[in-house]
Chain A
Amino acid sequence: MTTASSDTVLDEVTDSAPREAPPTTAAGGEARRERWVAIGYLLPALVVFGLFVFWPLAKSILLSVQGTDILGNPSGFVGGAHYTRLFGDPDFLQVLWVTFAFTILTVIPSIAIALLIALLLQSRIRGVRFFRTAFALPFAFSVATASVIFGVLFNPASGVLNGILSHLGVDKVQWLTNPDLALWSVSGATVWMQIGYNLLVLSAGLGALPEDVLEAARLDGASGLRLQRSIIMPLLTPQLFFLVVVGTIHSLQSFGQIKILTVGGPEDRTTTLVYSIYEQAFANNNSNYGYASAQAMVLLVIVLIITALQFGVLERKVFYR
């Protein structure tokens, strides 16, 4: 069956070829045929992407240069007004700063801690399987569930954390309402949420290290820290690089924990770019889709730039086998 149908394709292509182009060689026909097949395979994905990515992208660009009336309808072309307003707004600079700080405070610790745990879990102790499952478990929690639980832990009056502190004779800490502390608290909760996934990826990476390379290193006398630093780390760079890229994007998109734990406060000190977009578009009876779309465009550009930088700079250090 398959051969028959591909023959038909080939026939069609060769039939129509002379009319459009000078006679092609057999190799040229083959290439053409492959191109059509490729397009056929790509089409379903393209349709889905077009519908859910490119079409909304085009709409967002359009919305970002239009005003919005009270019902959320576009109310006419305003040019770059939203963008001018954005970049002239000191609050927006704070949003960018918070977004940046949140990303740093979540990506680096969540990978570092996961790496440490993953290395410890390499040791051959009893019950290591149990620990591996236990440490990876945060991955199974939804952001909403985990955030609600952290909300209970952080509660200034009845929270577990302040309960422990008061037993130690330390004053109550306003985890989520102190403007200088809230971002750290939310970041801490986020790190906990991300560790599970990072641990899974790193453990898998460690488990797949080539035994021959390790053995060679050991024969050369490398052991302990030396082995970790010079052999294991370089071999693990693909996984680490992957986690940095995916973790950064994940952090830039974080929403649930901020909505549930701090609602962007206190004093907007936990309002990240995504949360700011949500506030403009949907919260407090807002429907400033135009302004929100302009912010979404900024987010898109930021994600693209950071991702490009990571691929341009960081990836050079990655060791691919």
Chain B
Amino acid sequence: MKTTTSSPSRPRRLRYAVPAVALSASLALAACGSDSGSGDGGGGDGGSGGAPAADVLDKATGVTTVSFWHAMDGTNAEALDKLVADFNAANTGKIEVKSTYAGKYDDVITKYKAAIQSKSTPDVIQIYDIGSRFMIDAKQTIPMQAFIDRDKLDVSDLQPNIAGYYSIDDKLNSMPFNTSMPVLYYNKTLFKEAGLDPENPPQDLAAIRAAAEKLSKKGGGPADYGFGAAIYGWLLEQFIATDGKEYCDQGNGRDGKATKVLFDQPEAVEVVKWWQTMVKDGLAANTGRDTKAAQAAFKSGQAAITLESTGQLGGFSKAAKEGGWELGAANYPHIKAGTEGGPIIGGASLWINSANHEDVQQEAAWRFVKFAADKKSQAEWHIGTGYFPISKGALNEPADVEYRKANPLFDVAVKQLEGTKLSKATQGCLLGVMPQARKASEDGLEAALNGTDAQEAMTKAAESLSGQISQYNSSVE
């Protein structure tokens, strides 16, 4: 019977076979939805419970296994596996951490949702920064603060700006683990060719434009485009923060549940308008949303200035060495010179699941998280991955000092972080639908770069979220 669909000379069979194919095909996705949609809401005992007794692990017999889902691949995964191996070696016979790559950040959170349904969440999970509000509302985890208070642990070693993002009401919910920051990268060689001072990179929008006019082919400069960055919502979030403004209401979602996003405020629109005009005037490349495309344009010297994460430092340095040009890095630019504010940290943090997890597992999980946040581990992590260490002490570890001597550009990020005053603006917006909000801001920015009025585009994008935000808020009350 299988051959009937590929044998068109038998109309009668085909008549039935094709609608069947159509039916099953259009339902394939629906089926996925229904699978994850069934089942009840998981355990309700998580979130609010206190920490288990400190000696629970000592009383336990045998090896306690800690399952750990993460989103690190490539060299980052290697560095992480080494951390896990070191921890396991130090706790032989007592605790064994089993780490699993669960896909990219978005996939991890999707899988986590499914695991909640089937009551099979891992003991420790790495979740990206913008999933934090969701993690709290999912009520599956125990805050780090419970352990910190129980152990009367001194957490002054944590970088305050990093801890700030993951703290709500002065309570640390998750342990920051891998953090990155945005910086401005520029091509010093192209700066020299354009007659610009390579040691004096532009630090606000007007200065970037002025530099781009000299750098771009349009203005007789050496590069195709003076500026080129991806349509990436994260960058817009950073601009708003460097201007000291908030991204969502309710004090960036820190005073209460945010009810709307503010990326259509005048300052944000100013950035969008600036970017739009740069593209229109041929001074900036529009490489779309794919960050890799923008990176490629910068690496190949087609764009002279870009905005990217510190995580790209390694890749850009390598491209500069291979391409025979000199790389520069500077603080993330402000909208206007002299405004108070700074960039928000990005990256991910570790959460300990408590719903449907034994005390002894939670305790073992905590030991691992504590180990991962320790200055020695963080120095090793910093060197292995380029992620910013969350521990101040890590920067004084001899190996780390050595590393930064070899990679002086990394000090830019260190100084930028230390120079940023912690405020609600620089803590970043806490919003249940933050991933959706980031995408909506990209919709707005993209529409503007393609010619829509900047204010109109951003307002429309912000308004498109209102339904989702209220729906989210009402479903977690």
Contacts and interface: CB of A to CB of B under 8 A. Distances in A.
B106 A284 contact: yes
Interface in A6-29: none
Interface string A219-252: 0000000000000000000110110011001001
B129 interface: no
B421 interface: no
Contacts of B92: none
Contacts of A52: 24, 31
A57 B296 contact: no
A268 B289 CA distance: 12
A321 interface: yes
Interface in B258-303: 285-290, 293, 296-297, 300, 302
A141 interface: no
Nearest to B303: A157
B436 A265 contact: no
B106 A53 contact: no
B33 interface: yes
A278 B131 CA distance: 19
Interface residues of B, number: 68
Contact of A284 (B25, B293, B302, B435): B435
B42 to A, nearest CB: 7
Given A70-B134, A300-B26, A177 B288 contact: yes
Contact of B8 (A72, A238, A281): A238
Nearest to A294: B30
A72 B38 CA distance: 8
A249 B450 CA distance: 32
A174 interface: yes
A318 B8 CA distance: 10
Contact of A287 (B40, B113, B290): B113
Contact of A238 (B9, B29, B31, B297): B9
B65 to A, nearest CB: 25
Nearest to A248: B22
Interface string A40-69: 000000000100110011011011000111
Q: Which of under 10, 10 to 19, 20 to 34, or 35 or more describes the interface residues of A?
A: 35 or more
A53 B23 contact: yes
A304 interface: yes
A158 B446 contact: no
Per DSSP, are chain A's interface residues mostly helix, strand or loop, or mixed? helix
A206 interface: no
B435 to A, nearest CB: 4
Given A285-B435, A307-B22, A73 B39 contact: yes
Contact of A289 (B8, B36, B130): B36
Nearest to A320: B11
Contacts of B27: 53, 56-57, 60, 296, 300
Contacts of B285: 156-157
B297 A59 contact: no
B37 interface: yes
B472 A285 contact: no
A59 B29 contact: no
A56 B30 contact: yes
B383 interface: no
A246 B30 contact: no
A211 interface: no
A161 B25 CA distance: 34
B447 interface: yes
A238 B7 CA distance: 9
B305 interface: no
Given A265-B289, A285-B130, 20 more contacts: A53-B20, A60-B30, A60-B31, A63-B30, A71-B117, A72-B117, A74-B37, A156-B285, A157-B287, A201-B8, A205-B8, A241-B8, A278-B29, A281-B32, A284-B436, A285-B109, A286-B435, A293-B33, A300-B23, A300-B30
Interface of B: 5-6, 8-9, 11, 14-15, 18-27, 29-34, 36-42, 106, 109-110, 113-114, 116-117, 130-131, 134, 137-138, 285-290, 293, 296-297, 300, 302, 432-436, 438-439, 443, 446-447, 450, 471-472, 475-476
Interface of A: 49, 52-53, 56-57, 59-60, 62-63, 67-75, 155-158, 174, 176-179, 201, 205, 238-239, 241-242, 245-246, 249, 252-253, 263, 265-268, 274, 277-278, 281-287, 289, 292-293, 296-297, 299-300, 303-304, 307, 311, 315, 318, 320-321
15 contacts: A63-B33, A71-B41, A73-B37, A73-B39, A201-B6, A246-B18, A265-B446, A281-B29, A281-B32, A284-B436, A292-B30, A296-B26, A300-B26, A300-B30, A320-B9
